[in-house]
Structure 1
Amino acid sequence: MSDTSKPVIGIIGGTGDLGSGLAKGWAAAGYKVVIGSRSREKAAALAPELGAGVIGEDNVGAASAADIVVLAVPFASHDATIEEIKPAVQGKIVVDAAVPLVPPKVSTVQLPGEGSAAQIAQRLLGDGVKVVSAFHNVGAAKLHAGGRVDCDVLVFSDDKEARAAVIEIAGAVANRGVGGGVLANSAAAEALTSVLIWINRHYKVPGAGISITGLEGAAQA
């Protein structure tokens, strides 16, 4: 059963591997989750498989129903999806998990000219939205395996309160969220995804992650 004291989380691209994995983890942690898709029927059909408290809507419906909106779509559809949900997310936190991978060389860092996907999102959404960048380096397969993923989640935002809110929900699906500073710093985590893909291939492992050492007992912000 979902906890009404927790924020409602909407996941745009919630039927994809990462989005559905995050939904499964947050539902298990007691969050109400609304997964969005271009097809409401597809989202509604998948939702019961992800856990109690998960419902399916189209992308705009999911964005409208949520307190925190997570953007978990491929970079190729990133900008168009943002324009679609823009009116529904004004005044809210939008968490951008998009990684600017450019096939076929997805193991090579290829950041956009604007610096990062998250900075593009902030420009497109405007000052009325608090953009946070997170979840780039969390393996979808590990999320689907159940339990909290054994890695840290780097969280970036120009807004301290929004960053803290996402650090909290990150800790429900992974070891912990770790503040990484301002939104521009998101370029480091987005680039790191290509590095992790290379590591996975080279060492033949299913989902290498990251862990930040030396933070035992430190306050998170």
Structure 2
Amino acid sequence: MAALDLTRRTIAVIPGTGNIGSRLAFQYAKAGLSVVVGSRDAAKAQKLAAQISKETQSSSVKGLTNAEAAASGDIIFWNPSGPLKDREELLKSLASHLVDKIIVDVTNVLYFFGESEWGRISSTLLNRDSLGVPARWTTAFKATIARFLREDLPDVNNPHTTFVAGDDPEAVATTIALVEIIPGFKGAKAGPLENSRIVELLGPRWLIELDKLNAGGKFSTYWKLGV
């Protein structure tokens, strides 16, 4: 894959003050990209942005409201928490700012669906359908435990693979490039966005249980899904 120039693109993490979002914002600021941290509370976003700026010595980190972040971002990392209904309502409120943008869904539903729905639907597909405007959705980091994005980065010689599903080739290539900016991470194509139904089953809760069964809960390479 040819290298993509991401230096002219602004990364918006919405919301960006949680466990996964704040670590992604840190990594992309550290890589020299322009980053916007979104939050319902602008002051909270500004405080985190200032902290990231200091830690990464970057002058390209801003804290804004979710709506402002959605408007200013070229690539959106979608990272809400809470019930699916609340996530969808937030998404709909931002719809006018998201037309035709790349939206990288990094959320994990933590099995909000009943067992009969596992593998039949995904939060990514529900969000895509509820948005109401065209956008280029992909998945990433859905099977990633937050601390592995900063405190315990994977070994670059034994990278953690994150599966990137999506229907738009440019969006998939861009997402993989953003995954691989972070040391110790590898992006792997996972086919069309419909495959997010399968990708979401590989959530942290299941991976932790798998690790307990096979490696005594030490977070060894069992959960890494290396390819």
Q: Secondary structure at the match of 1:11?
A: strand
Query: 1 CA distance for matches of 2:196 and 2:110?
Result: 14
Query: 1 CA distance for matches of 2:162 and 2:10?
Result: 20
Query: 2 CA distance for matches of 1:180 and 1:4?
Result: 22
Relative to structure 1, the CA distance from residue 44 to residue 177 in structure 2 (aligned partners, 3 Å threshold; closer, same or farther) is same
Question: Deviation per CA, 1:146-201, whole angstroms, max 9, x where unpaired?
Answer: 75674111101111111111011011124221110001111222111132132345
TM-score by length of 1: 0.83
Identity fraction in percent: 28
Query: 2 CA distance for matches of 1:28 and 1:111?
Result: 39
Q: Secondary structure at the match of 2:176?
A: helix
Matched residue type, 1:121: N
- Tell me by how many angstroms 1:212 deviates: 3.8
Matched residue type, 1:17: N
- Give the number of aligned pairs: 208
Q: How does 1:37-48 map to 2 (within 5 A)?
A: 37-48=39-50
Matched residue type, 2:13: I
Aligned to 2:135: 129
Q: How does 1:139-158 map to 2 (within 5 A)?
A: 139-145=145-151, 150-158=159-167
Decide whether the 8 Å contact of 1:75 with 1:98 is kept in 2.
no
Q: Secondary structure at the match of 1:157?
A: coil
Aligned to 1:197: 208
Query: 2 CA distance for matches of 1:92 and 1:163?
Result: 12
Aligned to 1:94: 103
- 58, 64, 67: which one aligns with 2:71: 64
Deviates more, 1:160-169 or 1:3-12: 3-12
Relative to structure 1, the CA distance from residue 4 to residue 132 in structure 2 (aligned partners, 3 Å threshold; closer, same or farther) is closer
Matched residue type, 1:117: S
Q: How does 1:1-221 map to 2 (within 5 A)?
A: 5-50=7-52, 51=56, 52=58, 53-76=60-83, 77-102=86-111, 111=117, 115-126=121-132, 128-145=134-151, 150-173=159-182, 174-193=184-203, 194-202=205-213, 203-206=216-219, 209-213=223-227
Gaps of 5+ in 1: 214-221
TM-score by length of 2: 0.81
Matched residue type, 2:47: A
Question: Deviation per CA, 1:32-66, whole angstroms, max 9, x where unpaired?
Answer: 11010110110001112223222111111111111
Gaps of 5+ in 2: none
Deviates more, 1:10-19 or 1:141-150: 141-150
Decide whether the 8 Å contact of 1:138 with 1:209 is kept in 2.
no
Aligned to 1:216: none
Decide whether the 8 Å contact of 1:24 with 1:143 is kept in 2.
no
Q: Secondary structure at the match of 1:191?
A: coil
Deviates more, 1:198-207 or 1:152-161: 198-207
Query: 2 CA distance for matches of 1:129 and 1:45?
Result: 30
Relative to structure 1, the CA distance from residue 204 to residue 39 in structure 2 (aligned partners, 3 Å threshold; closer, same or farther) is same
